[in-house]
């Protein structure tokens, strides 16, 4: 099967480049709010934080939907952490941690003078969101967690780390899509051919006619010290930092990272939280189906 590279049109977003606190060249996407006759005001910008091996491309469809919304467009920024997407890899793999990524996020906010924003954290981005809420609470308006909670399920984490360490390089985009199906179809039975193509584009890019990874394979090294046979440390203390913000929690129906039990407890504890489940998807929902995008837009548009 002949397939073209799953790349968005470059006129749909602008690449932003900045320097981290330790000198790395980092990148982000900016989807500029489209101002129309019916939209006199632009909403608060949304900062999108991706998963462990993810990058800014995973928010492409959602960012287009939000930035071009007819009545309530908003700027959307999606970051490439160090070692992902178009950002420079770190020479020291020990720096692939959420705490270092938090500093990179703060560097980004300073570099582009962004003071007030909403946040969407997907998977590992949810951890980074909780950390960001502890250090910049006055800057944040509303928060969305995509399939991430204070308790990480060991089986799900082991699966993700295994994918990072053992991801093969396919010879073509057709093989890349087949690989995505073999890896994820059990948890994502609702995906169609286009979804698989988009998912392949998150993990692979084409350079000189050859596919390469969009992430540094050393990302998974930090998980080797974890004993996944034991209960992992929880993050309920960090979750407390979210209690002052309106919160939307999204869970994939077949998620093996955020359990129904944890979701229920999160929802019960938080005074102003909403929870939704994306049918037919696992960890983490792609957020490119119409229902998910409309749910996110409506949540962000709420006044309090």
pLDDT band at 7 (very low <50, low <70, confident <90, very high): very low
Residue 11 lies in a domain: no
Nearest Cα residue to 150 out of 121, 177, 179: 121
Phi-psi bin for 147: left (phi > 0), alpha (psi -120 to 50), beta? Answer: left
Q: What average pLDDT score do residues 55-70 get?
A: 95
Q: Cα(203)–Cα(4) distance, rounded to whole angstroms?
A: 15
Residue 141 lies in a domain: yes
Position 227 scores a pLDDT of 53
**Residue 44: C-alpha distances to residues 75, 298, 300 (Å):** 7, 13, 9
The whole-chain average pLDDT of the chain stands at 91
Q: What is the CATH number of the domain that holds 162?
A: 3.40.50.1820
The secondary structure of residue 206, as a DSSP letter, is E
284: preceding bond cis by omega (within 30 degrees): yes
The set of long-range contacts for 183-189, using a CB threshold of 8 Å and a minimum separation of 24, is 184/282, 186/254, 186/282, 187/252, 187/254, 187/255, 187/256, 187/281, 187/282, 187/283, 188/252, 188/254, 188/280, 188/281, 188/282, 189/254, 189/280
Position 88 scores a pLDDT of 97
Per-residue model confidence as pLDDT tens digits over 123-143: 999 999 999 999 999 999 999
Residue 9 lies in a domain: no
pLDDT band at 165 (very low <50, low <70, confident <90, very high): confident
What SS3 class is residue 75?
strand
Residue 4 lies in a domain: no
- Quick count: other Cβ atoms within 10 Å of Cβ 10? 8
pLDDT over threshold 70, residue 228: no
The model's pTM: 0.93
Residue 140 lies in a domain: yes
Residue 104 lies in a domain: yes
Position 5 scores a pLDDT of 46
Higher-pLDDT residue of 250 and 1 is: 250
Q: What average pLDDT score do residues 204-213 get?
A: 93
Contact 279, 53 (CB under 8 A): no
Q: What average pLDDT score do residues 89-100 get?
A: 93
Position 232 scores a pLDDT of 66
Per-residue model confidence as pLDDT tens digits over 33-44: 987 645 556 689
Range of the domain at 155: 16-301
Q: Where are the beta strands (DSSP E) in the chain?
A: 14-19, 25-31, 43-49, 74-80, 117-122, 140-146, 204-207, 210-213, 247-252, 273-278
> 173-184 and 193-203 are packed helices; what angle lies between their axes, rounded to 10 degrees?
100
Q: How many domains does the chain have?
A: 1
Buried/exposed code over 209-232 (b: 16+ C-beta within 10 A; e: otherwise): eebebbbbebbbebbeeeeeeeee
Percent pLDDT > 70 in the chain is: 90
**Residue 296: C-alpha distances to residues 33, 142, 240, 301 (Å):** 16, 11, 22, 9
Burial of residue 55 (CB within 10 Å: 0-12, 13-18, 19+) is buried
Residue 85 lies in a domain: yes
Position 250 scores a pLDDT of 98
Position 1 scores a pLDDT of 38
Q: Cα(228)–Cα(158) distance, rounded to whole angstroms?
A: 7
pLDDT over threshold 60, residue 204: yes
């Amino acid at each position: 099967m002949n397939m073209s590279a799953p790349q968005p049109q470059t006129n749909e977003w602008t690449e932003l480049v900045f320097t981290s606190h330790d000198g790395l060249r980092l990148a982000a996407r900016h989807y500029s709010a489209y101002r129309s006759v019916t939209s006199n005001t632009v909403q608060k910008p949304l900062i999108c934080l991706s998963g462990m091996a993810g990058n800014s491309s995973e928010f492409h469809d959602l960012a287009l939907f939000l930035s071009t919304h007819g009545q309530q467009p908003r700027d959307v920024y999606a970051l490439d952490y160090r070692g992902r997407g178009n950002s420079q890899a770190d020479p020291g793999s020990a720096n692939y941690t959420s705490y270092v990524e938090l500093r990179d996020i703060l560097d980004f906010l300073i570099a582009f003078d962004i003071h007030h924003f909403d946040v969407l954290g997907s998977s590992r981005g949810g951890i980074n969101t909780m950390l960001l809420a502890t250090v910049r609470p006055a800057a944040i308006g509303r928060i969305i967690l995509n399939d991430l909670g204070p308790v990480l399920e060991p089986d799900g984490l082991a699966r993700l780390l295994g994918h990072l360490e053992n991801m093969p390089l396919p010879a073509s985009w057709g093989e890349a899509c087949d690989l995505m199906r073999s890896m994820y179809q059990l948890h994502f039975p609702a995906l169609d051919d286009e979804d698989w193509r988009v998912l392949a584009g998150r993990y692979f890019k084409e350079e000189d006619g050859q596919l390469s990874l969009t992430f540094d394979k050393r990302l998974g090294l930090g998980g080797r010290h974890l004993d996944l046979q034991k209960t992992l440390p929880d993050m309920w203390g960090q979750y407390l930092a979210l209690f002052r913000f309106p919160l939307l929690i999204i869970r994939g129906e077949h998620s093996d990272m955020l359990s129904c039990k944890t979701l229920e407890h999160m929802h019960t504890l938080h005074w102003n939280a909403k929870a939704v489940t994306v049918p037919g998807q696992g960890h983490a929902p792609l957020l490119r189906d119409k229902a998910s995008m409309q749910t996110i837009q409506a949540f962000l548009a709420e006044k309090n």
